Amino acid sequence: MTIEALPFEHRPRNSIANNLDKINELIDWVNLDTHLYASATGERVTVDDASSVKGLTVDGRSVQDGTPTPDEPVAVQVVEGPLSLVIGDASVPIDLQGNTLASLPDGTRDELHIDSVGRVWIEKRTGRILTPTDVSSVNTLTQVTNGARWNIDVVGLTSEEIPNDSTNGFCSHTPFSRTLGLGSLGSHVFTFGGKVYYVIEGDFTASTAVTWVNSHQMTIIYPLATPQTIDLGYITTPAIPSGSVVTVSASLTPTIHLEWWVDDSITELINDLIAYIDYKTEG
C-alpha cells in the first residue's frame, strides 16, 4: 500500500498541520478495521497465511431424518458436547456447561461466539425439553376424537415464556404443529400460553395417557420468547499457522463463520508517516 492509495483525499504536504490531519484520518480509518481482516463460512475454513482469530461464530443445528410417530420416533440431533475448536493440529475444548446449540425450522438458531481475546458465550434462542426428566407433572385435559390431549408441566418453562401459537419446533415422537384436536394431523405437539400440549392418537384414558408420557423419553425443541446470553468464560485460542484448516468438533458438525486478521502493511505505513511528521516537526 502507498500513501496515494490511502482512503482519504490527497492534499499537498506543505505544512505540519496537513500531515497531522492525515495521521488522524488514517487512525480513524484503521479503527474501522473492516479492511484488516478476512472471513469465510462453512463446516471447515482454510486460512492461507499465518494469523490469529478475530472472531468465530458456531451456528446451532438440528437434524431430524424423517417424520416421527409415537410408535416410530425419530431422534432430533443437535450440536452438543464434547465440543472443541480445532485449528490445524491444535484442539481446544469448549465446555458448553450442559447447553446445546440447536436450530428451528424457520431458521432461528443458537449461536456460540468466541472473540479475539478468547471470551466464549452463547446467544440462546431455543429451549429443549427432555421427558420425563424435565417434566414435573402431566395433566390430562380432555379427550379428543380418536385420542387424548393433555398438558405437560415442565420445570422452569413458564419463566421461559414459550410464544403463544408457536408452530416452530421439533419433537422426537410427533410433528410440531398448532392444532387443538387431532383433525387430519394425527399425533402432534404444540405450545400455547407458556405450556406444552401433546395430542396423541389411540385409545387412552386419563391414567394411561399420563403413563404413556411418563414412560417415553421425548425430545421437544421450541423457540424461546426472549433470547438468553450465557457466558462460558474464556479459552486460549491457538495461533493460526499458514494453510491451517479451522473446524469445530461436536456431536453434529456445525457451520462456522471465522474472521481472522490479515497483514496489509498498515503498521509499517503508520510508522513511516509518524517518522515523517517527527522529521518535519524537528525542522
Q: Where are the domains of the chain?
A: 1-36+264-283, 130-227
pLDDT of residue 176: 76
Question: CA nearest 102: which of 153, 64, 66, 45?
Answer: 64
Residues above pLDDT 90, as percent of the chain: 37
Task: Specify whether the CB–CB gap between 134 and 214 falls below 8 A.
Answer: no
Grid cell locating 114? 468466541
Q: What is the pLDDT of residue 199?
A: 75
Q: Is the predicted pLDDT of residue 26 greater than 80, yes or no?
A: no
Note the residue count of the chain. 283
Nearest to 107 by CA among 219, 196, 218, 223: 223
Q: Which residues of 174-200 are buried (b: 16+ CB within 10 A; e: fewer)?
A: bbbbbbeebeeebbbbbbeeebbbbbb
pLDDT tens digits along 51-83: 889 999 999 999 999 988 888 899 999 999 899
Q: Which phi and psi (to 5°) does residue 25 adopt?
A: -65, -40
Cα 188 to Cα 261: distance, rounded to the nearest angstrom: 48
Contact 195, 157 (CB under 8 A): yes
How far, in Å, CA of 134 to CA of 130, rounded? 6
Which pTM value belongs to this model? 0.75
Backbone angles phi, psi at 27, to 5 degrees: -60, -45
